[in-house]
Structure 1
Amino acid sequence: MSWTDERVEVLKKMWGEGQSASVIAKELGGVTRNAVIGKVHRLGLSNRVTSTTAKPAAKDKSKVEVKAKPAALSTEPPKPVAAAETVRITPPAVRKIIPAGQPLPPQPSANEISPEALAKVSEIEKTAKRISLMELTEKTCKWPVGDPATDDFWFCGLGVKTGKPYCEAHVGVAFQPMSSRRDRRR
């Protein structure tokens, strides 16, 4: 299938009317939805503005389409959700991506981790192998040390504790008992 001028004009017209790539592909025939999307991007048509006042294209009366009513436009009140079904979602504003080279946000304070575990970690990090990402295996501790945006970034590299991704010292920091985490929240 080649994109002739006539087919491109049909594509532009239907895209401007707000038709989906699937509908356009069916109308053109011999082309996939992905091919339509690719051509739309190459033509620079991808930034269309949807409008509620736009009239839909004339449809063939022999074909009947059934569209579900979007939940956002529903006039029915939302159904209550049982407490067991409640799901907590972290809003995107809370999850922030920090560009390389920028300072990291404050890390959990040292008093959240037992002093024994911190002392063990600082001793272990003095004897760590300081390996790069490319040197990691399933038998090496994958605990990152330092800022990944700097040259002084490395992984511990010591032998891992069975069934864990870290060495014994880093397992003590990473995997804390449930009761101590629960107590900190109170």
Structure 2
Amino acid sequence: MNWTDERVEKLKKLWAEGLSASQIAAQLGGVSRNAVIGKVHRLNLPGRAKAGGSSAAARPQKRPAPVAPRATGYPQRAQTRPAVRSQEAVVVKQEVDVETVAVRRPSTDVVVPISRRLGLTDLTERTCKWPVGDPLKDDFHFCGCEASDSSPYCNYHQKLAYQPVSDRRKVAARVA
């Protein structure tokens, strides 16, 4: 398909009217939506009004619904931060409520075992094989505390190594 002068003019007219690339492709015929988008970019056509006829600036801005605080035991506080959006060369400031998320801190009654600082050759079936430090450094060692029969780690390092799936999903959801 060749872009003739007539087709380019029709593309410019339809683009200025706010039609979508799919709608323009259907009206031109013999051209795909992606071809229309590519031609618009090559022609450096300016942004246009949204399809549907009404301007985005005329519509009222929506505020996000308040989120109920989680029962984490930590106080929740809502903050208000200004959000800036650019709409057709007009900058609009809007107040947005933002909820701060409390970070769960580890329990303070956790006892960290004193490492026996064993080397690789000193490990047995009953010693904790949790690595400590950088393996390329001279001070690298293994925990060496007593391990249970069912695990290569002591009780403390078992809790670090084996976390329930639901806890991992919660942490991953917070990060994303």
Whether TM-score is above 0.5 comes out as no
More strand by share: 2
Highest Rg: 1 or 2? Answer: 2
The bucket for the TM-score relative to the shorter chain is: 0.3 to 0.5
TM-score, normalised relative to structure 1: 0.35
